[in-house]
Amino acid sequence: MADYKKSDYWRQKAHKEGYPARSVYKLKEIDEKYGLLKNPLSGAFRILDLGAAPGSWSLYVLRKMAAMKKGTLVSADLSPLSREYDNGLFDNGNFFFIQGDITAAQTCKTILSKSPYSAIISDAAPSTTGNHTVDAARSLEIASAVVNYAENALEPGGMLALKVFQGGDSADLLKRIKMLFETAKSFKPQACRGESVETYFIGLRKK
């Protein structure tokens, strides 16, 4: 029961502060703890948000960009973004939304055409079946695709944060991230549900 209250708290807080989903507080905690979205050395503040719908992470980034008065955001998802809370931010000329499967060749080509990125973030998750083995395997497939983008589209010194369901070969994926970045960590934000198998892999300063 306590965890349901926790879930309700984060959801209500998100709506009160103008975000469609509680997931924004996961990104906020990661950003504040690891400096994920800090001004990059290159000066080109260009972020890629994979699996962006309903749009909480994109809104967080766009509001941060508005405060900095700089930056470009590219977001992609199979589903459209919610327009309930954006107040026109999704119409910003520095925001590009790509509706499509991030593992599909055409979507990948479009995303790569706007690279390099100074940070790649992903809260993407598969439609769950209730079978942990199946769900973990599907999550790992998405997470691996996100790491592929980090290999091919992230600038040196760039940052990465992605969601993955624990289990299966997720430990091998973290090893792969450790090869790509100076520092790699697994981190579970406070806004995650207690019973959730989700965690986040963080890559700091791409080699």
Active site amino acids? 163
3-state secondary structure of 184: strand
Residue linked to tokens 């996961």: 26
DSSP secondary structure letters along 19-50: -SSTTHHHHHHHHHHH-TTSPPTTS--EEEEE
Nearest to 50 by CA among 125, 118, 115: 125
Within 13 Å, how many C-alpha atoms sit on residue 179's CB side? 9
Containing H/E element for 47? strand 46-50
Amino acid (1-letter code) at residue 38: K
